[in-house]
Amino acid sequence: MQVMYWARGCRGTRAVGPALLALVAVVGACGYAGSETSALGAGSEQAGRLRLGYIANVTHAPAVIGEETGLFTEQLGPSVDLEYVHFNSGTEAIEALFSGAIDAGFMGPSPAVNGFAQSEGDALRIVAGTTSGGASLVVRSDIEAPGDLRGATLASPSLGNTQDVALRAWLADRGFETDATGGGQVSIRPQANADTLAAFQAGTIDGAWVPEPWATRLVLEGDGHVLVDERDLWPGGEFVTTHLVVATRYLERRPAVVRGLITGLLRAIEFANGDPAAARAVTNQGIERITTKALPASTMTGAWEALRFTVDPIATSLEKSKDHAVRAGLLDPVDLSGIYDLDILNEVLRERDRVEVRAR
């Protein structure tokens, strides 16, 4: 089910909980103290509407922070009507981008690659990174090594999603056969993360490759243990988990709006990295507002430690993830040339004397 909220930010009344009140020294009534002016300015010809989608999850924390603190609204300015759309999965988000229901969205590698491939490179562009890390294979206590997985049933969030692809690639590298119907030497059961937790607690599955906070929840609430921290499989422990995607036509028609959004994202990431405790509190407050249920503090802390927030999209990991999907038979071969448009991001980084990022 998709839930839609109209952003109000500094242009209307919104409930402010204790977590936000704690940020007064950092975030004023409408953003950071000493904040920058809007990237657009009053009366800009680039003004209009921006419909922004994301998942209310820890791996999308900068997006949650951007809405919850009003940073996105502030950076875009009063000439842009900002509308938030909250999704349960990246699949929903890419479908909304295709249908024109959103103009931009935060999503993982697989939805972005699938959308790019299905549209023959026309529909979308990745304009910034957001999150690295935060995915693990958690298993029951008696599974101590990969060889113990023969005959096991493992869950993933959905067929062909980012973690599903990672799981199938990892199993294939260790000689296990799998297929899209749950057969093979290790059975993979794609299902909603909440169902995975319940099934793990009930003992009907043996483990799952899931993103945070679900990996931490399987450990804390399901008495599981981490068999594979995905960071250990990538150079320097870096791989893209979430990035910011914009519809190509919107990027072409509203570059100044996209610039404002990217600047707001950069500031949200700076806050997340600069004050983790406050950022966790704000993120959890946003999750509770959207989903009606906050996460335990121990879950937030455990999940946060597995993540790194960065505007670098870590392009090399996207290419490898795409290759994994092709190898698993979940994606036809596709050339990702043109999927990135980092010009605006690098302009913003140069203005801040920050190191630019590359598409390869």
pLDDT value for 91: 87
Domains of the chain, residue spans = 3-134+238-351, 135-237
Q: Which residues contact 159 (CB under 8 A, 6 or more apart)?
A: 180, 190, 330
**pLDDT attached to residue 47:** 64
Other beta carbons less than 10 A from residue 154's beta carbon: 25
Enumerate long-range contacts of 195-198, CB under 8 Å, 24 or more apart. Answer: 195/155, 196/155, 196/157, 197/221, 197/222
pLDDT tens across the length of the chain (360 residues):
333 323 333 333 333 344 443 443 344 333 333 334 444 443 334 468 999 999 999 999 999 999 999 999 999 999 999 999 999 888 899 999 999 999 999 999 999 999 999 999 999 999 999 999 999 999 999 999 999 999 999 999 999 889 999 999 999 999 999 999 999 999 999 999 999 999 999 999 999 999 999 999 999 999 999 999 999 999 999 999 999 999 999 999 999 999 999 999 999 999 999 999 999 999 999 999 999 999 999 999 999 999 999 999 999 999 999 999 998 888 999 999 999 999 999 999 999 999 999 887
Distance CA(272)–CA(278), nearest Å, equals 8
Query: What tokens appear for 335 in the block?
Result: 């050339």
* Alpha-carbon distances, residue 155 vs 104, 109, 205, 213, 257 (angstroms): 29, 19, 7, 15, 39
CB 152 within 8 A of CB 143: yes
- CB within 8 A of 335, min separation 6: which ones? 121
Query: How many whole angstroms separate alpha carbon 8 and alpha carbon 31?
Result: 13
CATH number for the 3-134+238-351 domain, one of 3.40.190.10, 3.40.50.2300, 3.40.980.10, 3.30.1300.10? 3.40.190.10
Length of the chain: 360
Domain 3-134+238-351 and domain 135-237, same fold? Reply is yes
Locus of tokens 């603190």? 69
Which of 317, 293, 297, 310 has its CA nearest to residue 345?
A: 310
Residue 264 has a pLDDT of 98
Fold of 135-237: D-Maltodextrin-Binding Protein; domain 2 (3.40.190)
Q: Which two tokens stand for residue 124?
A: 């979308």
